[in-house]
Amino acid sequence: MEIEKVKINAPTFLVEILEEDIKHFNFSKSGLYNLIFLKCALKFRSNYSQELQFDDKKYIQVPLNKENRKLFNVIIKEQPQLNNSEIMKEIFLSYAIMPSFMRETILFREKLSFVINSQKEYRVLKIRTPDGIIEGRIEKIFRDKIDNYFRIKITGKDYYFSQCEIIS
C-alpha cells in the first residue's frame, strides 16, 4: 500500500525554518515538502529529534507526490526501526539544521550550476527578476551576510537567487 501523506509532530524550530523557506523560495508547502523529501531522503541522519527534545512540537502534514510515494516505500523498508513519522521528521530535520545557503544549494543545485557556468563563460542571460525581465551577465554570486541566502548581481543590481528565473 502506497503512503500518500505523513503526519509529523515536528519541533517548532523545524516548522519555523520550513515557513521561512516557503516564503523566501515562493513555494507551496506541498511543493517545498516534496522537493526536500526528494533531495534529502537518501542522505538523512537519524537521531536529530533526540537532540531537539526541548523544543515545542507542531504537527505538519506532508502530502507525497506520486514519485516520492515510491521512494518513501523504499526508505520504509530500509529503516524498519523507525515509523513513517519518525523517518519523515529525520529527513526534514537533516534539511533544517543546515544554514539557508546550503538548503538553497540542495534545492536549486542544477540552476546554481548553470548560473555559475554562465558567469565563468561570460554568457549574457535573460532573467526574470522581481523587478521584471533583465538581460546581462552575472557579475557576482554571493551569500547575503544578513540572512545567508544566495544573491546574484547582474547589471549592477543584486537579487535573491531563488527569486530569479533564467529565461535564456
For 55-93, the DSSP string reads: S-EEEEEEEPPHHHHHHHHHHHHH-TTS-HHHHHHHHHH
Domain boundaries, given as residue ranges, for the chain: 5-97, 109-166
For the chain, report the end-to-end CA distance as a whole number of angstroms: 43
pLDDT in tens, the chain (168 residues): 678 899 998 888 899 999 999 999 999 999 999 999 988 887 766 666 666 677 788 899 999 999 999 999 999 888 888 889 888 988 998 899 899 999 999 999 999 999 999 999 999 999 999 999 999 999 999 999 999 999 999 999 999 999 999 998
What's the DSSP call for residue 29? H
For residue 108 the three cell numbers come to 536549486
In terms of Cα–Cα distance, which of 52, 61, 55 is closest to 33?
A: 61
pLDDT, position 79: 84
In this prediction the pTM is 0.81
pLDDT, position 141: 95
In terms of Cα–Cα distance, which of 152, 110, 103 is closest to 131?
A: 152
- The class that CATH gives domain 109-166 is mainly beta
For 97-117, the DSSP string reads: TS-HHHHHHHHTHHHHHHHHH
